[in-house]
Amino acid sequence: MATTHVFIVDKNTFKYHLEYLFAGTGAKDYVLDFNNASNSRLNPTREKLLISMIADLNRVRIGDYVIFYLQQSKEVGEGKFYGIFKAKSNGFLDNNDNEQFLKTELQKSLTFRVLLEPFEVYPAGVTEWEALDEIRHIQSPNQLLWSLIYRKLKANRGNTMITIYETERIFKLIRDKNNRQKINSEYFSFDMDNQKIIPSNVNNTYTGRSEEINILPRLIKKHDEKKAFESHLQAYICQNVNNNIQLKSLLIQNNTLEWIGNEVSCGVGMQRIDIALSLKKENQERLILPIELKAVPASLLNVPQIQRYVDWLEQYYIPNRISTIQPVLIAKKFDNKESEKYLRIVESFKQFNLKNPNCLSLKYIEFEILDNDLIFEEHIHHV
């Protein structure tokens, strides 16, 4: 299986996404000035917004699924979900300037992009009510599409991932809505009058720029200046978890990464899992890893946060996708491991493990920066 990403489009942009087979997000007229660079002139709020969008894009892998959500408007009426497409590329940057591909046609800047290919493309969209409010075939609240409900309640996130079981549900809704009659074409457009994806005879080639994203130099600069960089750390791990040798050996090991999420909402409050991974073992058992990230050394506040993640997963995730929970804390290196403060933190880890016998023991990983690189190390003997 793979992660499914829901990209938000509007009545103007959807046509071009279909005709040129790409998805993207952007933030007003902001220009990203820190890609593959250590310095930035952006204020911290704008930088954090852009880095959060990079983190969302960095979770996209080739072969992942993509659904479009057409936003509600007077012309569209109720919002609708359309699909199904697959990611043909990794995410890339097409910065906001006069050369940004299709900027004039889109009437907005979409800086963070990914190329697509058709998987099963159906003409009609599933309405928001059908996807999120209809409960005729729902036996339990945990079967609702909470990832999309939380998105609606909290923020207008342009690229939201949904879980594997949510993917199965929304795919079924789209297929059933169209009586499983796919569009037999490689090229597409959108009929606004009928609000349907239609086949096209025109092969529009995507010829825009595709700059590789690298935020490590900026992360290191923020670290050295003792400024907040937790969002940068999230973006880095989302991009590199299965190709950074240390991260792969510590988190994925010999298992198969089948799903990745970031900023995974686990309640109607502000609680969010920084990164979550679903892994499949060779014996077909599954692991779900809620990962708490800290750009500062570990503290006594970390375990209560992780406990909230575990409680939510046990109630909402596990009933839909049976998995063993492997909680993870990744924090900046704690220098004085003989201190009373550190020993109390280790004791909190031990108490967490005793309280949660159905989980695997908390995995504690520290990072530091050496020779302009991030180094990760697990501390097993302390936990």
Q: What is the pLDDT of residue 54?
A: 97
Q: What is the pLDDT of residue 154?
A: 45
Q: Which residue has the tokens 């169209």?
A: 178
Q: At what angle do helices 164-177 and 146-154 cross, to 10 degrees?
A: 90
Strand partners, 260: 277
Question: Cα dist. 159→17, 146, 165, 245, 285 in Å?
Answer: 14, 15, 18, 27, 29
Question: Considering the chain, what is the average pLDDT of its residues?
Answer: 91
Q: What is the pLDDT of residue 266?
A: 77
Cβ proximity of 200 and 188 under 8 Å: yes
**Which among 83, 276, 277, 87 is positioned nearest to 169, based on CA atoms?**
83
CA 197 to chain centre: 26
What b/e string do you get for 234-251 counting C-beta neighbours within 10 Å, with b at 16 or more?
A: bbbbbbbbeebebbbebb
Q: Which percentage of the chain shows pLDDT scores above 70?
A: 91
**Which among 62, 25, 15 is positioned nearest to 187, based on CA atoms?**
15
| CATH superfamily label, 4-199 | ph1033 like domains (3.10.590.10)
> Do 241-378 and 4-199 fall under one CATH topology?
no
Q: What is the pLDDT of residue 268?
A: 59
Q: What is the pLDDT of residue 269?
A: 61
CATH fold for the domain made of 241-378:
Trna Endonuclease; Chain: A, domain 1 (3.40.1350)
| Three-state DSSP state, 24 | strand
Q: What is the pLDDT of residue 157?
A: 76
- pLDDT tens across 123-182, in order? 999 997 887 655 555 555 555 555 665 555 445 679 989 888 889 889 999 999 999 999
Q: What is the pLDDT of residue 153?
A: 42
All structural domains of the chain with their residue ranges: 4-199, 241-378
How many angstroms separate the CA atoms of 103 and 289, rounded?
39
Average pLDDT for consecutive 10-residue bins of the chain (383 residues)?
A: 92 97 94 96 94 96 97 86 97 96 97 98 91 58 56 66 88 96 97 96 96 97 95 98 95 96 77 94 95 97 96 89 96 94 95 96 97 92 53
- pLDDT tens across 231-280, in order? 999 999 999 999 999 999 999 999 999 999 999 887 656 688 999 999 99
- Residue 232 tokens read as 């940068």
